[in-house]
Chains A and B, each alone.
Chain A
Amino acid sequence: KRGSLVLPIRRGAMAMRAMTRCGWRASRRWASFGCLNETQEQVREMTRGFAESALFPVAAENDKLHRFPAEVIRELGELGLMGCQVSEAWGGSGLDTISYAVAVEELSRGCASTGAIVSVHNSLYCDSVQSYGREEVFEAFLRPFAQGEKVGCFGLSEPGNGSDAAAASCVARRVEGGWRLSGTKAWTTNGIVGSAAVVFATFDKSLGHKGISAFVVDTGADGFSFGAPEDKLGIRASTTASLILDDVFVPEAQLLGREGDGFKIAMKILDSGRVGIAAQGLGIAQASIDLAVKYAAERNAFGKPIASLYAIQHKLSDMACRYDSARLLTWRAAAAKDDAKPFSKHAAMAKLAASEAATFCAHQAIQILGGMGFVSDMPAERYYRDARITEIYEGTSEIMHLVVATNLLKEYAALDIALPAAPPKHAHHDHALSHAAA
């Protein structure tokens, strides 16, 4: 039943300022913690139902065959899930971020590859174009993507740099009417199937991160090609490939933001993307818990279902706690984003927690299933393989810690609180002590 969490009202202006900065106000405005509003519940019902009927039955086979679920993507487009947060004016669904997170979680519960495809397309491609693109390119580069007719990708990482995004070596050479891009982008989800890509390239290496610009590039353009599809450990139904740009002409209008804004755009977009990936991790974790509980209730050992054994119960509890706390972090990041509050730290915490919850839950699900968890008859092994990437892409866990720590230290530096020193000596206090001693 819906309950409400009573938050302690802390007196003291300083504490209030600190909490407001941390987004306390933002999250408090979202009903009561952990509850979804009617629209969000409807989105959850719909995506859950769709995942159960359209994703669960084909996920294992698509994974085995490394097959991109084109039919599913088409249906998702019709349901409006390929343009979740694109405005209705441009063919999107105009969803709030919590609904989006719920949708990605439910889809990922059915098929993590589909969750990855949808999350990258929505958060990394569509958001980039909508937030930073010029309206004149929306008809070609936003509408058909929001409606699921085309799929987008996001080319930031390169063979030579991943976490070190500022060290881009893909170059953008200024020419008449635009730029010519040359270089290679690595590990691009939705490569091969993508009709357009957001590409980051440097126009002046000496400027470091300030020399990077972001562009939206037609993958059918002259000089653009995809590398061979990667043979991955997990999310094998999604296509991952390098983007190879050989002097590709990109017109003026396809610049995102301003020249030199590229790095800032990437960081901002990744913040949103992390909410999506956190949601994907949650879906994998939830699927693992569902499977583990169901199996433990049916599997007998020592004369009773293994769910009655404490060793198994402890694992299930651990899985549930990690999943649920990650989910609250994810929804909080989503709520902060919708309230237009800074949410980098929340998003990093969410992705960190959710990806680690995913790997933990998938690992424990295999353990609970025993031998059954190791074979492909049960999806546990696929959850385990799918979960692994969530700790890596869109910012490794190490980078997440960095983001959280940096923000944390900034918050403390902004507060005028000195760390407590030794308690001040009071005359009457010493007097009382000396009295007692006497």
Chain B
Amino acid sequence: MRLVVGVKRVIDYAVKVRVAADKTGVELKNVKMSMNPFCEIAVEEAVRLKEKGVVSEIVAVSVGPKQAQETIRTALAMGADRGIHVQTDMRTDQDLQPLAVSKILKHVVEQESPDLVVLGKQAIDDDANQTGQMLAGLLDWPQATFASEVNIEDKSLKVSREIDGGLQTLAMTLPAVITADLRLNEPRYATLPNIMKAKKKKIDTIKADDLGIDLAPRLKVVKVEDPPVRSAGIMVDDVDTLVDKLKNEASVL
């Protein structure tokens, strides 16, 4: 069974994100970039499925600039077998939006015919949480989002999902789309032998513009600015004053 896993190159989670001087987005120059943490969890799950013998080949896909190949290489070092780099110069944190990405992934899926697509539930730059859902919709496949446990037997999938009310278990047939949530697994460190092996694994590059897909953003980012500096709190003398302030000053009641 072939599995396609999506990996996104984002600003490293530990970096203090800064707004760019022109307020059109966040500062990306000279900023440390890494694989999206939820994508790491997705890759880890893919590798575990391969180790269990359920999956025979893992293809790692990334849409982004030339440096996205480094992210694919990390996935290869974790255990993916080969990579596909869809090259684009569009800003992947705001201009290339989930609808466009899911259309691109649909193209890759039609090319690769996997039985399973695993994505991170969301990227930590846009926090959209849409790509997996949209992709399943475009492919007309069942989806298991916010997965915290995955079990595959024959051609059927049982997934435990973390929802607001607790845990929900869904059963569905393959092919399907899974999006990984935080507690699905703990990603492994790439071993040195795997880092060395990854150097020999293949990454194919295709240009996003050549795919004949409308990649234009549907949402326009008007302005990006820092959240307002938190002002000091005030002590009030009684409940009436508190209610008054909440109603008339903070406008939350």
Are A94 and B196 touching (Cβ within 8 A)? yes
Which of B34, B73, B193 lies in contact with A38, CB distance below 8 A?
B73
| Bound-state Cα–Cα, A93 to B30, Å | 31
Q: Which residue of A lies closest to B14 (CB)?
A: A52
A contact residues around B58 at 8 Å (CB): none
Residue A84 lies at the interface, judged by CB distance under 8 Å to chain B: yes
Partner of B189, one of A41, A79, A93: A79
Interface of B is mostly: helix
Q: How far is the CB of A46 from chain B (nearest CB, A)?
A: 5
Bound-state CA distance A286–B162 (Å) is 41
Please indicate the chain A residues that have their CB under 8 angstroms from the CB of B30 in the complex: 1
Task: List the B residue with the shortest CB-CB distance to A88.
Answer: B193
Chain A residues numbered 39-59 whose CB sits less than 8 Å from any CB in chain B: 39, 41-43, 45-46, 49-50
Given A1-B30, A38-B70, verify A46-B195 contact (CB < 8 Å): yes
A375 to chain B, nearest CB (A): 27
Inter-chain CB contacts under 8 Å: number: 45
Partner of B196 from A41, A45, A88, A103 at Cβ < 8 Å: A88
Select A80's contact among B73, B191, B199, beta carbons within 8 Å. B191
Query: Is B77 among interface residues, defined by CB-CB distance under 8 A?
Result: yes
The residue on A at minimum CB distance from B194 is A80
Asked whether B189 lies within 8 Å of A42 as measured between CB atoms, the reply is no
The docked-state distance in angstroms from the alpha carbon of A38 to that of B200 is: 13
A81 at the interface (CB under 8 A from B): yes
List residues of A (70-126) whose CB comes within 8 Å of B's CBs. 78-81, 84, 88, 93-95, 103
Known: A1-B30, A94-B196, A95-B196. A42 touches B190 (CB 8 A): yes
Given contacts A1-B30, A93-B196, A95-B196, contact A42 B74 (CB under 8 A): yes
- A50 touching B189, Cβ below 8 Å: yes
**Chain A: CB-nearest residue to B34:** A45
What's the least CB distance linking B191 to chain A, in Å?
Answer: 5
B192 within 8 A of A: yes
- 8 Å CB contacts to B: which residues of A278-306? none
B 56-92 to A, binary, CB cutoff 8 A, 1 in contact else 0: 0000000000000010011001000000000000000
Partner of B191, one of A1, A45, A79: A79
Interface size class of B (residues with CB under 8 A): 10 to 19
Q: Give the interface centre of A42, A46, A80, A94 by most chain B CB atoms within 10 Å.
A: A42
**B192→A95 contact, CB < 8 A:** yes
CA distance A315 to B199 in the complex (A): 41
Write the nearest CB–CB distance from B44 to chain A, whole angstroms: 14
Q: How far is the CB of A57 from chain B (nearest CB, A)?
A: 15
Complex: how many Å from CA A376 to CA B116? 51
Q: Which residue of A lies closest to B77 (CB)?
A: A42
Interface of A is mostly: helix
A80 x B193 contact (CB < 8 A): yes
User: Considering the chains assembled together, what is the distance between the CA atoms of A221 and B190 in angstroms?
Assistant: 37
Residues on B with beta carbons closer than 8 Å to the beta carbon of A93: 191-193, 195-196
**Across-interface contacts of A50 in B (CB, < 8 A):** 189
B71 to chain A, nearest CB (A): 11
CB distance from A215 to the nearest CB of B (A): 29
- How far, in whole Å, are A88 and B195 apart by their CA atoms in the complex? 12
Is the Cβ of B191 less than 8 Å from the Cβ of A42?
Answer: no
Chain B residues positioned under 8 Å from A79 (CB to CB): 189, 191-192
Query: How near does chain A come to B130, taking the closest CB pair, in angstroms?
Result: 29
Check B195 against A39 for contact (C-beta < 8 Å): yes
How far is B196's CA from A79's CA once the two chains are assembled, in angstroms? 12
Whole-angstrom CA separation of A239 from B30 in the bound complex: 42
Residue of A nearest to B29 (CB): A1
Residues of A near B190 (CB, < 8 A) are: 42, 46
Q: B191 to chain A: which residues have CB within 8 Å?
A: 78-80, 93
A42: B residues at CB distance < 8 A: 73-74, 77, 190, 195, 198
Q: Are B189 and A46 in contact (CB under 8 A)?
A: yes
A80 engages B192 (CB within 8 Å): yes
A49 to B195, CA, bound (A): 15
B192 CB contacts on chain A under 8 angstroms: 43, 46, 79-81, 84, 93, 95, 103
Return B28 CB to nearest CB of chain A, in Å. 13
Closest to A83 in B: B192
8 more contacts with CB within 8 A, not counting A1-B30, A93-B191, are: A38-B73, A39-B196, A42-B77, A43-B192, A46-B195, A79-B192, A93-B193, A94-B196
- Give 25 pairs: A residue, B residue, CB < 8 Å, sorted on A: A1-B30, A38-B70, A38-B73, A41-B70, A42-B74, A42-B195, A42-B198, A43-B192, A45-B34, A45-B74, A46-B77, A46-B192, A46-B195, A50-B189, A78-B191, A80-B191, A80-B193, A80-B194, A84-B192, A88-B193, A88-B196, A93-B192, A93-B195, A94-B196, A95-B192
**CB-based closest 6 A-B pairs:** A80-B192, A93-B192, A80-B191, A79-B191, A80-B193, A42-B195
